[in-house]
Structure 1
Amino acid sequence: MAAQPPSMHLRGLQTARARLEAWLEAERDQLVLWLPVALGGGVTAWFLLPDAVTWRAALLAAGATALFAAALGRGGRAGRAVTIGALAFALGLSLVWWRAERAAAPVLTRPAIARLTARVERVDRLPARDMVRVRLTDLVWQDRAPRPAPTRIRVNIALADAPGALAPNARIALRVRLMPPPPPAVPGAYDFARVAWFDGIGATGRALGKPAIVAGGASGEPLRARLSRHIQARLAGSAGGIAAALATGDTGGIAEEDQEAMRRSGLAHLLSVSGLHITAVVGLTMLLAARLLALNMRLALTGRVPLLAAAIAAATAVGYTLLTGSEVPTIRSCVAALLVLVALALGREALTLRLVAAGALVVLLLWPESLAGPSFQLSFAAVTAIIALAEHPRVRGWFGQREEGLIPRMLRGLGSLLLTGLAVELALLPIAVFHFHKAGIYGALANIVAIPLTTFVAMPLEALALALDIVGAGAPAWWLAGHALSALLLIARTVAAAPGAVAALPAMPHGAFALMVAGGLWLALWRTRWRRLGLLPLAVGAAWALATAPPDLLVTGDGRHVALRVDGGRVALLRERAGDYARDMLTENGGSDDEPVLLSAQRQAQCSRDLCRADVIRDGRRWRILATRSAYLVPVRELIAACRSADIVISERRLPRGCTPRWLRLDRATLAQTGGVALTLATGRVMTVRQAGDRHPWVLAAAPAFTAARPKSGDYRKGWTRFGEKRPMRGPTVRRPQERLSEPMPDAYTR
């Protein structure tokens, strides 16, 4: 067949370009919504790419794309959109890179015990956890300072040891045990080291004994702390903690089991001051201000009442944001509320996706690193889903204003609330699974009751009680508010305890999460029928996430905690004395919602006081896993014999060179290079916390802690092997899997 003449190809390109321009013309009002998406894309690229070379390459690629699109666009809408998007991408990458460099501060690399004096920068009282958390700066070391010496630290003080006059700007003296900011314990876990880097925190720890106040004191205690303490004095228990959270954003008074019930029931968003709370405060303030201002006949006749009421509501929104700690969701909601008030004052439509985009743009320009956290993602996903659903023509047709009776209007409102709750749950589902490895099933139903109860009953009663406390008459209002919050807790506990209330899934692949986010944004931000194409990446990402098998073995970066997935999908732990955080973290990342069990109690395991051996079958192959479980050294000959009969050996100590398992050895030296490890035995997949070539600043700051140091002199004993030589940086010692050997476990290990 003869090739088509060039003119036909050119005509086809012109037709395709004309169709693209026609589609973008139809979507011209939506194009601006993609500006914060492009900005966020640059921020995301900085977190995903490993080092400065790739960051510069991404910037150059974005610049080349912008120039290429500008040259070929010839004034078309497509060329302008690509140019602006590429420049926004480059701006986002540059901003977060600049923020990371600007936040640079010394980071502790080894545990240390020190005496110091410091200025209190922030105080968070956590009575439900029996402690006070303080952030300290202007450190003066009384003993020899650690190297490198951090300039800002976060310290936990036992509630009984906390001085009563402890307040910001006070100067205190204390003895403290400090640790480096911890990286994720296993792949997919929370990365506090990254968060601490952007906050300038170089170490965390706990106070040893009671701190002494050297200067300053309670006279400088902020309004937020005084208000939280006042509320918790009026309402005891978790009800008082929730009341304080609604007013000040302080969740320290809520018991851990009640916080978990709120998370499992899909009501945890009520504890974080965000759009719901700002809306309630602004709405109530504007209503009261309008009613009071309307009493002045001159103002009422001039028509300035709405404008003045909006100004008062705006001032209240800003004050409430400052009072509650100016967290990212609160700032986003405050910006959105201010834009709504401006739109109302100008007589424009207020609730639009442009308002959400403006809020996201402000937050990303000021705090680009917040994009990586669940707070930003959950907050903006929920609001975007609500407004995108409300703007859909069919939804407007179903639930728009019309002349009808009371009962049909109530049913229509209930249906609207249920549909909105379902849309929000679906929008938040991939984010919750990606960050927390859990997803609530009944959240939409629980929110139907919980949101009106909180917005129209609990918060107004609490505001009334605080107002009446000025004259000492707030007790009746506090009694009513306490009952409303107790009802909210009852809803959370009931839903959380329902069968199948929570679906637990393993760590989601980044690619699956990216596909679902891209598909969701495509569905939400376009209006024409092409928006339906977003269903394809959404479905592919969901299928990918569901098809991801949970890890069979999880090993924390220190080698102390090991979790093995046993029959029935439950997680079995190596050590009995794993703390609550370690237990929850290992079960969540293992894709289980059941209580963990003890490995030594499983029929496929044989354990002594010092070692555990477990045999598991995956995909028709038997795997033998050997792990140390005590601080006592094992006779080297017996240990070497046991290693050779195992496929995987795990230890928090350095193992002798003769310990050569058939496949993988994870000892102190190896885990120092890899961090926590997740293994999928059926596929042989090994995931590590530390990735080769990762040069992000918080990783580089902790690099000295990951070097293979020589063991202490106590490790050298008569009859034991000497294995203290340094080794070069490398990955885990992995050997080709072989057939299972028949060598039995030495008798010394089965006692």
Structure 2
Amino acid sequence: MPTVRSCIAALLVLGGMAMGRDAITLRLVAAGALVVLVLWPEALVGPSFQMSFAAVIALVSLGEHPAFRTFVAARDEGMWRRIGRNLAGMLATGLAVELVLAPIALFHFHKAGMLGSVANLVAIPLTTLVVMPLEAMALLFDLGGWGAPFWWLTARALDLLLLVAHGVASSPWAVVLAPAQSGAVFGLILLGMLWCLLWRSGWRWAGLMPVSACMTMILASPMPAILISGDGRHVALRTADGGMAMLRARAGGYARDVMAESAGHDGTLQALTTLPQARCSPDLCAVRLRGGGRYWNLLLTRSSVKIDNAILARDCAHADIVVSDRRLPGACRPRWLKADRRFLARTGGLAIDLDHGAIRGAKASNDEHPWIARPSAWPRGHRGGQL
């Protein structure tokens, strides 16, 4: 798909140049987006389409701004001033792209890079002016068997490039994490950014209000207290010290990564059995969590062994929330929520906020995607994707 979009854009640019028109405009971006959406309308909701077109819109909008054009325009000046001006222009374009892509990355991947534009100030000139010429010289001299010195210099330049990359990646500001957010918040951010980028008058800055408000909500939103996978096998709990603990210690790396990213957690997920407030047997775990000014009692199944109905009914009666990857009997009646296999088949994975007593499910009652089994009905009193 990205290759097709690039091909369409290249053809439009060549056509515009052939007609003597300024091809790098927002009309080009709109035409390319229109062609893609006519052929593949489902691409609109994908991160690839959103991020690629958002980056291009940001670059074209910045390039069309009179102040930026004046700043980067060629002029008669000293070499160092020209280099500084070019670096400042590169930094501005990098920051524009990162700021536009950050909300999209946070919504789809729950993380966004923030120092890429700074790293590019070194990486792009180093790659363009040092690494690529050295590789070309090494390949040329390899014809006579004399390319070894140039390959050695290329390796040292790549070592410097990796040093910059690792230095930026190790910074605490390199990546911003955020828990999963609702589509309404993401939609307001997109509308606000498009308002800023497409308008030309002073009204364009009004789009910053919804963007700023929604980004503040995203960055200030706490991690959910409980995350439950769609099959009920994997449960992650937020600990008192801000960490996360997994129900199954042998959960695979993929399950752990999904749980951590969905919660906006950057750290190791410890085993639930190590928590002082957890009491676990090979088949059940009872955990006591605090949230919303009170304590919540959780009961979690962690094996496929059948549990006596009388014992299960007794334990469920003392629990506020019960989570299981099996279908629990009717005798299991917790005080607040029973998330068993039958319930999760209707709601999908769950994110539970104990501070506000709110639950958000992965499925919606009006979901029409053909690869998702449509929920027959949501629990009584709940609508859409919000319980």
Matching residue's letter, 1:423: A
Which residue pairs with 2:163 in the alignment? 490
Map 1:470-509; keep pairs closer than 5 Å: 484-509=157-182
Out of 48, 59, 64, the residue aligned to residue 375 of structure 1 is 48
**Aligned-residue RMSD, C-alpha:** 2.8
Task: After superposition, give the CA deviation of every residue in 1:369-423 in whole Å (9 maximum; x if it has no partner).
Answer: 2221111111111121112112111222222221110011111111111111111
Return closer, same or farther for 1:547/1:465 CA change in 2, 3 Å cut-off.
Answer: same
Matching residue's letter, 1:507: A
CA distance in structure 2 between the partners assigned to 1:538 and 1:551 by the alignment: 23
CA distance in structure 2 between the partners assigned to 1:462 and 1:638 by the alignment: 71
Which residue pairs with 1:38 in the alignment? none
Which residue pairs with 1:356 in the alignment? 29
Return closer, same or farther for 1:411/1:602 CA change in 2, 3 Å cut-off.
Answer: same
Return closer, same or farther for 1:371/1:501 CA change in 2, 3 Å cut-off.
Answer: same
Which residue pairs with 2:385 in the alignment? none
Q: Are residues 1:551 and 2:224 paired?
A: yes
Kept after mapping to 2: 8 A contact 1:509/1:545? no
SS in 2 for 1:384: helix
Out of 335, 339, 350, the residue aligned to residue 662 of structure 1 is 335
Q: CA deviation at 1:344?
A: 4.1
Which residue pairs with 2:378 in the alignment? 731
CA distance in structure 1 between the partners assigned to 2:213 and 2:378 by the alignment: 32
Matching residue's letter, 1:625: L
Q: CA deviation at 1:644?
A: 0.6
Out of 239, 247, 258, the residue aligned to residue 574 of structure 1 is 247
Which residue pairs with 1:642 in the alignment? 315
Kept after mapping to 2: 8 A contact 1:665/1:732? no
Which residue pairs with 1:511 in the alignment? 184
Map 1:306-385; keep pairs closer than 5 Å: 328-385=1-58
Task: After superposition, give the CA deviation of every residue in 1:160-219 in whole Å (9 maximum; x if it has no partner).
Answer: xxxxxxxxxxxxxxxxxxxxxxxxxxxxxxxxxxxxxxxxxxxxxxxxxxxxxxxxxxxx
SS in 2 for 1:657: coil
Return closer, same or farther for 1:582/1:402 CA change in 2, 3 Å cut-off.
Answer: same
Give TM-score, length-normalised by structure 1.
0.47
CA distance in structure 2 between the partners assigned to 1:440 and 1:414 by the alignment: 20
Which residue pairs with 2:291 in the alignment? 618
Give TM-score, length-normalised by structure 2.
0.89
Q: Are residues 1:633 and 2:306 paired?
A: yes
Task: After superposition, give the CA deviation of every residue in 1:250-290 in whole Å (9 maximum; x if it has no partner).
Answer: xxxxxxxxxxxxxxxxxxxxxxxxxxxxxxxxxxxxxxxxx
Matching residue's letter, 1:590: A
CA distance in structure 2 between the partners assigned to 1:636 and 1:463 by the alignment: 74
Matching residue's letter, 1:638: I
Which residue pairs with 1:609 in the alignment? 282
Which residue pairs with 2:215 in the alignment? 542
Kept after mapping to 1: 8 A contact 2:137/2:147? no
CA distance in structure 1 between the partners assigned to 2:130 and 2:23 by the alignment: 25
SS in 1 for 2:261: helix
Q: CA deviation at 1:667?
A: 1.1
SS in 2 for 1:515: helix
SS in 2 for 1:679: strand
Return closer, same or farther for 1:387/1:563 CA change in 2, 3 Å cut-off.
Answer: same
Count of equivalent residues: 381
Kept after mapping to 1: 8 A contact 2:327/2:342? yes
SS in 2 for 1:557: coil
Which residue pairs with 1:442 in the alignment? 115
Q: CA deviation at 1:472?
A: 9.8
Q: CA deviation at 1:449?
A: 2.1
Q: CA deviation at 1:485?
A: 4.7
Which residue pairs with 1:386 in the alignment? 59
CA distance in structure 2 between the partners assigned to 1:509 and 1:490 by the alignment: 38
**Which segment drifts farther, 582-591 or 535-544?**
535-544
Kept after mapping to 1: 8 A contact 2:139/2:147? no
Return closer, same or farther for 1:474/1:343 CA change in 2, 3 Å cut-off.
Answer: farther
CA distance in structure 2 between the partners assigned to 1:474 and 1:592 by the alignment: 51
Q: Are residues 1:404 and 2:51 paired?
A: no
Which residue pairs with 2:91 in the alignment? 418
Matching residue's letter, 1:630: S
CA distance in structure 2 between the partners assigned to 1:466 and 1:697 by the alignment: 52
**Which segment drifts farther, 340-349 or 437-446?**
340-349
Q: Which has the higher contact order (CA 8 A, sep 6+)?
A: 1
CA distance in structure 1 between the partners assigned to 2:308 and 2:38 by the alignment: 59
Who wins on radius of gyration, i.e. which is larger? 1
Percentage identity across aligned positions?
52
Q: CA deviation at 1:340?
A: 3.1
Q: CA deviation at 1:501?
A: 2.2
CA distance in structure 2 between the partners assigned to 1:480 and 1:343 by the alignment: 42
Out of 332, 345, 351, the residue aligned to residue 678 of structure 1 is 351
CA distance in structure 2 between the partners assigned to 1:733 and 1:474 by the alignment: 77
Which residue pairs with 1:593 in the alignment? 266
Q: CA deviation at 1:500?
A: 3.4
CA distance in structure 2 between the partners assigned to 1:515 and 1:455 by the alignment: 39
Q: CA deviation at 1:671?
A: 1.4
Q: CA deviation at 1:473?
A: 7.1
CA distance in structure 2 between the partners assigned to 1:455 and 1:644 by the alignment: 67
Return closer, same or farther for 1:349/1:467 CA change in 2, 3 Å cut-off.
Answer: farther
SS in 2 for 1:617: strand
**Which segment drifts farther, 384-393 or 424-433?**
384-393
Kept after mapping to 2: 8 A contact 1:664/1:733? no
SS in 2 for 1:563: strand
Task: After superposition, give the CA deviation of every residue in 1:398-451 in whole Å (9 maximum; x if it has no partner).
Answer: 222211100111111111111111111111110010011112232221122223
Which residue pairs with 1:432 in the alignment? 105
CA distance in structure 2 between the partners assigned to 1:365 and 1:466 by the alignment: 45
Gaps of 5+ in 1: 1-327, 707-728, 736-751
